[in-house]
């Protein structure tokens, strides 16, 4: 008999995903070459759909947090909402990437397997309640991502990106582990809820914990890609095949958010005034650096990398507020961000074809004349990123700014606002080339129906959710309130 | 509420829906369908705004035609609409201008017709939303969203330096408005979670806080008006925009800036407004006099009218910050009147530009010989622009000067100089363009205005004349609202 504290049922989605990943590997092995791609694609989408279904099943009704595996694993509102978002994001990534990868002969069993393992890692990250399981999830994701970036073996730039990613990622993991060991030394526990209890029970924060905290924040900043730990982001974004960039830029950010919340907002909640100051610096540097350097970019992927850095700075605004409202705002921000990123890289892949990457800003020249609909969709995505209403990105910015202002950081909000004007400048460049310039490319844009459909839904969702953002906002707030 | 309680929603969403429909008619065969859809949409939009005029109650300063529905409960944001005497006229003015713009672009625009008309219709709906919103975030949403179609209009259909002008326009306005957003979030916290603009009017604030908020709002609206020295985007945007874009910019979007003063700055920060009124008046007078001189030196007709707009808007802000009812009503009348006159001036220039493709004054001369009907309208509107009595241009300026003289003779004196300057630069331009001998072959081959052009110029001429001869209906609408606002400002928020 299984001990009751194991509570296996709560981990059904993860267990199912692991099983299906093995099935995918077998199918890959035993399928004839001509049928392989279609089968893998179909199987992975079905798997993710079933995983999503089972997450939804566990999450309703939204109950108090439940633990499994003797407290290693936790199921709460935040975990469920993030997992759902992760699974959907991954499915979208696979749909967007199929044509791109298959044109480059990269759509293989390895790709699907790595994506699914990474997904498993992300799901564990957001559901972990113990430093060990947190770390395991993180590494499962990270190792899969390194391999994905390097999947295009013949490309020197991809290999370079993978190398950078791996070395800096390993360094970050080291920092994180070192910090965690300090916290373990001070509290004698690795379990998130126990650490939280011990810290909040003591008077004043143990200097050893603060010492560990510095390393933990440094490691998290590396993983999230916020300045001054952002060095790997532009190179990896530009160097990796666009499909991999899309993957790295989307779902893992959701997982990283959950990860940060578990460590900072949950385990180290008692040291909130200590990490708040660190996050303020990280946020300011990211917003300034990301937005200013993005202006000088001509490569769209690299520009989006810097834009990501600034977005992560905005994300921190909500977290550093240290309130449930702030956390909910950040969660809303990260989901919005993933939706926008998926759309933007999806558009790049839509315009690309075999031998043509479409990753320069100039490749978007005259898009409005080539296809008004795609230009309009890109316009939605870009204005949303710039935070112009009525698009969803505006509400995300509004929410985190409100969080930071409510916590008393008025000057930080003014700073953020000024930075977003700088941000608008380079976002406008994309709109400019799409609408104001004549096309240099006249090749018709071809894409499969499923990709066009999902991309259109993605782009129009930014407008529709922008007009009715209430549901998503409330869902985030409920999830956070049920978790903390 | 009565059955007409969806009036404001209709004025916002009818043009937007028509715009989306027009956008869909983007095929090569559907050009005339797109034109007709745009015209019908804009006329429906104008019809939708008529009940505002007929059903308006002049006796109250409270919001009328109110609509409220919860929108984003997480932040207590409501879809709240309402108009009072300060905003109602501008919704009608905007809907009216949209019809003119559609007619004016009928044959002239040859590329991407459906997008052109769609952009104007959507913008028209958004602008109506700006004037109708009584929720700060809803206001902000319309205020910002409006930039997108305008940006595209300038950038796609504009002149040679359109890209520069479009980006400058966008960034200038965005900088100001984001500071305003920060102010809104601050007020949201102060009022314990309300984005209702009317709550902001009531909340007590210390003078220091008021000054900071004043600066944030001022950054937003001064750019929009535009006031000297943040006016530099306007000549660029005006010159590069297509005729329709210039018309909407001058007739409507500048008014949004001035409206912001009345709806936000004066009522939310009354004491700071008093404390800083000298500053605003100084900037206004610099705009009136210095920009008037700048206008005199222009060789480009559109630039000249653009500078004249800045100068005239200086009157408006001057009128607001002398804190008496003549000044404020004069400012409002000037806003409406300038909406008609500047629209007409830009349309006149557009008529010439469509034929000769030059905006340089020196490219013309003796136009009256080949275009007598056009010359009649051009001279008439030029007179109105320089403030000739019996035209609407006179009423507003005269009221502001009357109001100013009560406060300080020199304010009135400096403001009155513009009557001379305005006449000088406008009439001098008219002399060089319209009169004299035929200057070149282009002018010799000009054809007079057709019935389409006659239509929009004629309608505007009637409006200018009507408002100049009998302004009472307009001032009646705004009177009670202005008085209430002035009382509120006089009381202040400190005690």
Q: Tell me the three state secondary structure of residue B337.
A: helix
Interface check for B147 against chain A (CB to CB < 8 A): the answer is: yes
Give φ, ψ of B244 to 5 degrees. -60, -40
Write the pLDDT tens digit of every residue in B56-102. Answer: 888 888 888 888 888 888 888 888 888 888 888 889 889 988 988 88
pLDDT band of A4, cuts 50, 70, 90: low
Instruction: Please report the pLDDT score of residue B3 as a whole number.
Output: 41
Q: What is the arithmetic mean of pLDDT over A320-329?
A: 90
Question: In whole angstroms, what is the distance from residue B132 CA to residue B88 CA?
Answer: 8
Q: What is the pTM of this model?
A: 0.90
Closest residue in A to B190 (Cα) is A406
Interchain proximity A470–B174, CB inside 8 Å: no
Interface check for B140 against chain A (CB to CB < 8 A): the answer is: yes
Interface check for B24 against chain A (CB to CB < 8 A): the answer is: no
**Chain mean position to CA B366:** 32
Please check the confidence at residue B4 and state whether its pLDDT lies above 60.
no
Interchain proximity B144–A470, CB inside 8 Å: no
Question: In whole angstroms, what is the distance from residue A436 CA to residue B162 CA?
Answer: 9
Those of residues 37-76 in B touching chain A at CB distance below 8 A are 71-75
Interchain proximity B171–A414, CB inside 8 Å: no
Instruction: Please report the pLDDT score of residue B428 as a whole number.
Output: 86
Instruction: Please report the pLDDT score of residue A2 as a whole number.
Output: 55
Tell me how far apart the terminal alpha carbons of chain A are, to the nearest angstrom.
Answer: 33
Interchain proximity B141–A390, CB inside 8 Å: yes
Q: What is the arithmetic mean of pLDDT over B391-395?
A: 85
Which of A389, A402, A470 faces B140 most closely, judged by CB atoms? A389
Closest residue in B to A473 (Cα) is B74
Instruction: Please report the pLDDT score of residue A331 as a whole number.
Output: 93
**Mean confidence (pLDDT) of chain A:** 89
- Give the least confident one: A343-347, B71-75, B158-162, B195-199: B158-162
- Tell me which residue of B37, B40, B28, B25 sits closest to B111, measured CA to CA: B28
- Chain B positions touching A414 (Cβ under 8 A) are 179, 182
Write the pLDDT tens digit of every residue in B284-319. Answer: 888 888 888 888 888 888 888 888 888 888 888 888
pLDDT band of B2, cuts 50, 70, 90: very low
Tell me the ipTM for this assembly.
0.86
Interface check for B79 against chain A (CB to CB < 8 A): the answer is: no
For residue A177, the tally of other CB atoms under 10 A from its CB is 16
Give the minimum alpha-carbon distance from B216 to chain A in angstroms, rounded to a whole number.
Answer: 10
Angle of helix B451-469 versus helix B88-104 axis, rounded to 10: 160
Q: Tell me the three state secondary structure of residue A390.
A: coil
Interchain proximity A394–B163, CB inside 8 Å: no
Which of A418, A428, A477 faces B74 most closely, judged by CB atoms? A477
pLDDT band of A118, cuts 50, 70, 90: very high
Please check the confidence at residue A437 and state whether its pLDDT lies above 90.
no
Question: In whole angstroms, what is the distance from residue A39 CA to residue A24 CA?
Answer: 9
Which of A398, A405, A432 faces B167 most closely, judged by CB atoms? A432
Closest residue in B to A423 (Cα) is B171
Instruction: Please report the pLDDT score of residue B199 as a whole number.
Output: 85
Give φ, ψ of B446 to 5 degrees. -65, 145
DSSP tag of A68: E
Write the pLDDT tens digit of every residue in A29-85. Answer: 888 888 888 899 999 999 999 999 999 888 777 677 888 888 888 888 889 999 999
Helix or strand holding residue B297 (H, E): none
- A4: Cβ–Cβ under 8 A, 6 or more apart, which residues? none
Interface check for B172 against chain A (CB to CB < 8 A): the answer is: no
Write the pLDDT tens digit of every residue in B274-287. Answer: 888 888 888 888 88
Give the minimum alpha-carbon distance from A482 to chain B in angstroms, rounded to a whole number.
Answer: 16
Which of A383, A398, A470 faces B148 most closely, judged by CB atoms? A383
Question: In whole angstroms, what is the distance from residue A141 CA to residue A136 CA?
Answer: 9
Interface check for B156 against chain A (CB to CB < 8 A): the answer is: yes
Please check the confidence at residue A1 and state whether its pLDDT lies above 60.
no
Q: What is the per-residue DSSP string for B190-207?
A: HTTS--BHHHHHHS---H
């Amino acid at each position: 008999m299984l001990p009751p504290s194991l509570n296996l049922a709560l981990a059904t989605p993860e267990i199912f995903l692991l099983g299906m990943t093995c099935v995918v590997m077998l199918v890959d092995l035993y399928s004839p070459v001509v049928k392989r791609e279609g089968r893998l694609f179909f199987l992975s989408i079905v798997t993710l759909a079933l995983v999503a279904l089972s997450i939804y099943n566990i999450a309703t009704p939204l109950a108090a947090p439940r633990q499994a595996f003797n407290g290693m694993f936790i199921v709460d509102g935040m975990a469920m909402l993030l997992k759902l978002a992760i699974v959907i994001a991954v499915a979208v990534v696979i749909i967007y990437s199929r044509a791109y990868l298959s044109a480059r002969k990269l759509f293989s069993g390895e790709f699907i397997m790595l994506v699914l393992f990474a997904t498993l890692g992300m799901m564990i990250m957001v559901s972990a309640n113990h430093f060990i399981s947190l770390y395991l999830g993180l590494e499962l994701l990270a190792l899969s991502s390194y391999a994905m970036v390097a999947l295009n073996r013949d490309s020197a730039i991809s290999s370079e990106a993978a190398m950078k990613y791996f070395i800096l990622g390993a360094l970050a993991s080291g920092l994180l582990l070192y910090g965690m060991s300090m916290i373990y030394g001070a509290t004698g526990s690795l379990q998130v809820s126990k650490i939280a209890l011990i810290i909040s029970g003591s008077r004043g924060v143990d200097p050893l914990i603060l010492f560990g905290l510095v390393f933990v924040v440094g490691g998290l900043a590396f993983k999230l890609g916020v300045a001054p730990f952002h060095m790997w982001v532009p190179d990896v974004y530009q160097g990796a095949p666009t499909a991999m960039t899309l993957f790295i830029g989307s779902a893992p950010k959701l997982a990283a958010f959950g990860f940060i919340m578990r460590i900072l907002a949950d385990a180290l909640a008692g040291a909130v005034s200590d990490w708040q100051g660190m996050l303020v610096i990280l946020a300011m540097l990211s917003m300034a650096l990301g937005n200013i350097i993005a202006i000088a970019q001509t490569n769209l992927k690299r520009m989006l990398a810097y834009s990501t850095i600034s977005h992560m700075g905005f994300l921190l605004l909500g977290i550093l507020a240290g309130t449930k409202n702030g956390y909910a705002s950040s969660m809303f921000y990260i989901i919005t961000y993933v939706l926008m990123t998926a759309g933007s890289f999806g558009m790049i892949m839509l315009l690309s074809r075999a031998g043509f990457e479409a990753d320069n800003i100039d490749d978007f020249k005259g898009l409005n004349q080539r296809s008004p609909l795609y230009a309009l969709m890109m316009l939605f995505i870009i204005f949303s990123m710039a935070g112009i209403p009525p698009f969803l990105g505006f509400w995300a910015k509004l929410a985190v700014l409100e969080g930071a202002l409510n916590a008393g950081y008025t000057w930080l909000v003014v700073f953020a606002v000024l930075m977003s004007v700088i941000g608008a400048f380079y976002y406008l460049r994309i709109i400019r080339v799409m609408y104001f310039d004549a096309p240099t490319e006249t090749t018709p844009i071809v894409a499969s129906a499923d990709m066009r459909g999902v991309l259109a839904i993605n782009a129009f969702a930014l407008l529709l959710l922008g007009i009715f953002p209430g549901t998503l906002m409330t869902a985030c707030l409920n999830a956070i309130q049920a978790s903390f | 509420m009565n059955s007409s309680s969806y009036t404001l929603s209709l004025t916002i969403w009818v043009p937007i829906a028509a715009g989306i429909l027009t956008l869909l008619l983007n095929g090569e065969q559907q050009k005339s369908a797109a034109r007709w859809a745009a015209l019908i949409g804009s006329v429906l939009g104008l019809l939708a705004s008529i009940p505002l005029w007929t059903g308006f109650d002049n006796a109250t300063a409270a919001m009328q035609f109110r609509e409220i529905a919860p929108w984003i409960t997480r932040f207590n944001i409501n879809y709240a609409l309402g108009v009072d005497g300060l905003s109602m006229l501008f919704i009608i003015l905007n809907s009216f201008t949209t019809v003119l713009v559609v007619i004016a672009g009928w044959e002239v625009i040859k590329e991407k017709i459906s997008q052109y008309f769609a952009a104007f219709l959507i913008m028209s709906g958004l602008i109506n939303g700006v004037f109708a919103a009584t929720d700060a975030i809803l206001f902000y949403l319309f205020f910002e969203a409006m930039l997108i179609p305008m940006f595209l209009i300038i950038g796609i259909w504009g002149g040679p330096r359109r890209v520069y002008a479009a980006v400058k326009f966008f960034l200038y306005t965005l900088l100001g408005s984001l500071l305003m957003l920060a102010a809104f979030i601050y007020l949201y916290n102060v009022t314990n979670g309300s984005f209702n603009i009317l709550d902001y009017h009531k909340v007590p604030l210390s003078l220091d806080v008021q000054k900071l908020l004043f600066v944030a709002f001022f950054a937003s609206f001064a750019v929009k008006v535009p006031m000297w020295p943040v006016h530099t985007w306007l000549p660029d945007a005006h010159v590069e925009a297509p005729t329709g874009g210039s018309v909407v910019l001058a007739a409507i979007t500048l008014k949004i800036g001035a409206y912001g003063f009345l709806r936000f700055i004066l009522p939310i920060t009354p004491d700071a407004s008093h404390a800083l009124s000298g500053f605003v008046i100084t900037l206004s007078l610099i705009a009136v006099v210095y920009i008037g001189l700048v206008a005199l030196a222009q060789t480009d007709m559109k630039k000249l009218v653009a500078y004249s707009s800045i100068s005239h808007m200086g009157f408006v802000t001057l009128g607001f910050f002398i804190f008496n009812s003549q000044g404020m009503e004069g400012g409002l009348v000037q806003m409406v009147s300038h909406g008609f006159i500047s629209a007409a001036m830009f349309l006149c220039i557009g008529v010439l530009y469509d034929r000769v493709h030059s905006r340089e004054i020196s490219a013309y001369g003796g136009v009256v010989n080949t275009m007598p009907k056009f010359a009649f309208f051009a001279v008439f509107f030029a007179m109105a622009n320089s403030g000739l009595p019996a035209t609407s241009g006179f009423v507003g300026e005269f009221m502001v000067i009357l109001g100013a003289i009560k406060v300080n003779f020199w304010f009135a004196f400096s403001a009155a100089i513009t009557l001379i300057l305005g006449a000088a630069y406008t009439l001098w331009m008219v002399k060089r363009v319209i009169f004299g001998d035929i200057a070149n072959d282009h002018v010799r081959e000009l054809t007079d205005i057709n019935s389409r052009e006659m239509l929009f110029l004629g309608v505007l001429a009637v409006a200018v004349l009507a408002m100049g001869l009998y302004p009472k209906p307009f001032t009646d609408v705004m009177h009670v609202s202005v008085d209430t606002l002035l009382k509120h400002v006089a009381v202040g928020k400190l005690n």
